[in-house]
Structure 1
């Protein structure tokens, strides 16, 4: 499993944005990331200003969402969907998309479940539960 550092994640997103702005070819993963970035225009200023935002700290107390965490979670979800892992996630996300009448709203609901399950696993010192993740999605 690949566990990039905070700086590596940020550099990945800055690099994808820079390559896209320059019209350079992207890898399949970079193309997936760019599609997510384009759906989030509120982050374009951040992505275009490496100097200012490379080391910025976002905290819940500031009331700001960390754009790199948000984009990373979107990317994780898209990768899960591309391979239907955990098995059944694709069906649940399609169901949510219909229910919410929005693919983006569905993915944000998935993000809430993903964040909760990661937090639970870390808090309890246990492995991530695919079953609990899918159950959360079923209830969403």
Structure 2
């Protein structure tokens, strides 16, 4: 998408992509993936209509509301991880979880939790992200 996207870049991307999908305009392959995930989250559609409001919006944990831009970005990240099987084994782990849940969408939401746990552990320890632990976490979810 971008070399190092800013918060504004990410929010503009999702808003513009949704606007293009709504208008029936052609989309790039990345925009198509993003628009498909946006469609599966109607609760976020209102957040994507007004770019300026999206840029100004604050999503505080205390409010109990998910940041739609972070959530959609994680869907795209997981989609990319699966498409290139990086870290190695993530494709099979996600496929197994999706089969168990009978929903790729629900599987993605569980993978997001595992991804968040891996990032949190990495930040807390000061060590690089542990891809093996991440995949093990996803596989453990597929057996529950």
Partners of 2:111 and 2:39 lie apart in 1 by 19
TM-score by length of 1: 0.94
Partners of 1:27 and 1:53 lie apart in 2 by 22
Partners of 2:122 and 2:54 lie apart in 1 by 30
Q: CA RMSD in A?
A: 1.3
**Mapped pair 1:56 → 2:41:** no
Partners of 1:5 and 1:118 lie apart in 2 by 19
Instruction: Give 1:86's aligned residue.
Output: 87
Instruction: Give 2:26's aligned residue.
Output: 25
What is the DSSP-based 3-state SS (H/G/I as helix, E as strand, rest coil) of the residue aligned with 1:54? helix
- CA deviation after TM superposition for structure 1 residue 76, in Å: 0.2
Instruction: Give 1:42's aligned residue.
Output: 43
Superimposed CA distance per residue, residues 11-34 of structure 1 (whole angstroms, 9 cap, x where no aligned partner):
110111111122211111111111
Runs (4 or more) in structure 1 with deviation over 6 Å come to: none
What is the DSSP-based 3-state SS (H/G/I as helix, E as strand, rest coil) of the residue aligned with 2:56? coil
- CA deviation after TM superposition for structure 1 residue 39, in Å: 0.7
Superimposed CA distance per residue, residues 55-95 of structure 1 (whole angstroms, 9 cap, x where no aligned partner):
11101100000000000000000011111111111111111
- CA deviation after TM superposition for structure 1 residue 130, in Å: 0.8
Instruction: Give 1:135's aligned residue.
Output: 136
Partners of 1:57 and 1:24 lie apart in 2 by 29
Instruction: Give 1:73's aligned residue.
Output: 74
| Number of equivalenced pairs | 140
* Structure 2 unpaired stretches of 5+: none
* Structure 1 unpaired stretches of 5+: none
